[in-house]
């Protein structure tokens, strides 16, 4: 119970502008910094290079705030010049029998067309895109993402993901928590085992002609 309470004092949320790091300013300084360091260690470099803003409620003292920023810098995070604002709450709508098609504006960059989605995709939801897909949220069981490029889920991937669907064997699938019902890369298929083991680190899936789909711990310093 004590470990669960400690994790509640740090909450990291992804937005389209970067990371929001919420801190419970009522927690003792040592517990606050120790918990943030543990969360960043568990991410294993997944957040490296990301812009961030620190929100302490209530505000912490100057020494504690400085220690928190030092930890973020140590693990490769970059302080945003302008504070990142929390996203506006989305109005709730009545459930529909058939989920409406998910639409988002693609952005063009060095990796081609990338579709950025900031939401959780529920069961029955389906995303199809000619390019890469980045999901800032969870892909729930019964939901599907299909992309001609790579698929990156900054959350839990528990549904179906098909990267390189036009035949690109070099496409990859990465997620903060990778527990899919099915993974596909080009024509290679991997199904989830009956018993899933919770892994406290991001994972990467890629295709091999000889071995099918391989899943390994995400390593930002490793190039395939």
Instruction: Please compute, for residue 12, the number of CA atoms within 13 A of its CA located in the half-sphere on the CB side.
Output: 22
Are 127 and 191 contained in the same domain?
Answer: yes
Pairing mode of beta strands 144-147, 132-135? unpaired
Please provide the DSSP assignment of 3-58 as one string: HHHHHHTEEEEEETTEEEEEEETTS-HHHHHHHHHHHHHHHTTTTTT-EEEEEEES
**In this structure, what CATH number is given to the domain that contains residue 116?**
2.160.20.70
Kind and range of the H or E run holding 127: strand 126-129
> Are 200 and 128 within one domain?
yes
Residues 40 and 135 in one domain: no
User: Is residue 196 assigned to a domain?
Assistant: yes
Residue 11: give its domain's CATH number: 3.30.750
Task: Report yes or no on 96 lying in a domain.
Answer: no
The answer to whether residue 222 sits within a structural domain is: no
What pLDDT was estimated at residue 47? 80
Q: How many domains does the chain have?
A: 2
- Does residue 73 sit in the same domain as residue 113? no
Tell me what pLDDT residue 116 has.
92
Instruction: Spell out the per-residue pLDDT of the chain, length 224, in tens.
Output: 334 444 478 888 888 788 888 888 888 878 888 988 988 888 877 788 888 998 888 888 888 889 999 999 999 999 988 888 877 765 555 555 555 555 555 544 444 588 999 999 999 999 999 999 999 999 999 999 999 999 999 999 999 999 999 999 999 999 999 989 999 999 999 876 654 566 778 999 999 888 889 989 888 766 55
Whether 88 is covered by a domain: the verdict is: no
Residue 92 lies in a domain: no
Q: Is there a single domain that holds both residue 213 and residue 121? A: yes
- For residue 16, the model assigns a pLDDT of 79
Q: Are residues 155 and 210 in the same domain?
A: yes
pLDDT at 111: 46
Instruction: Report the candidate in 166, 163, 164 with the shortest Cα–Cα distance to residue 180.
Output: 163
Any domain includes 55? yes
Question: Kind of pairing, strands 10-15 and 18-24?
Answer: antiparallel
Residue 212 sits in the same domain as residue 161: yes
The span from the CA of 192 to the CA of 48, in Å, is 29
- Which range marks the domain in which residue 111 is found? 106-217
* Same domain membership, residue 154 and residue 55: no
Asked, for residue 33, whether it belongs to a domain, the answer is yes
**In terms of pTM, does the model score above 0.85?**
no
Q: Under a CB-based contact definition with an 8 Å cutoff, are residues 175 and 152 in contact? A: yes
* CA atoms within a 13 Å half-sphere pointing along the CA-CB vector of 85: 3
In the chain, count H helices and then E strands: 3, 16
């Amino acid at each position: 119970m004590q470990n669960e309470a400690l994790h509640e004092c740090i909450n990291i949320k992804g937005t389209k502008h970067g990371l929001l790091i919420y801190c419970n300013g009522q927690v003792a300084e040592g517990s606050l910094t120790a918990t943030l360091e543990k969360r960043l260690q568990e991410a294993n470099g997944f957040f490296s290079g990301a812009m961030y803003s620190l929100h302490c409620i209530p505000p912490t003292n100057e020494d504690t705030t400085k220690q928190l920023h030092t930890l973020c810098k140590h693990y490769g995070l970059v302080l945003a010049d302008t504070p990142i604002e929390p996203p506006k709450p989305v109005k709730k709508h009545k459930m529909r029998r058939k989920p409406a098609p998910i639409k988002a504006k693609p952005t063009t960059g060095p990796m081609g067309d990338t579709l950025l989605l900031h939401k959780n995709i529920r069961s029955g939801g389906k995303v199809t895109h000619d390019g890469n897909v980045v999901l800032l949220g969870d892909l729930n069981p019964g939901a599907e993402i299909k992309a001609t490029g790579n698929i990156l889920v900054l959350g839990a991937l528990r549904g179906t993901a098909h990267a390189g669907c036009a035949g690109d064997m070099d496409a990859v699938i990465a997620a903060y928590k990778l527990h899919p019902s099915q993974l596909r890369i080009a024509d290679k298929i991997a199904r989830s085992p009956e018993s899933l083991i919770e892994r406290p680190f991001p994972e990467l899936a890629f295709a091999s002609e000889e071995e099918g789909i391989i899943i390994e711990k995400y390593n930002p310093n490793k190039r395939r």
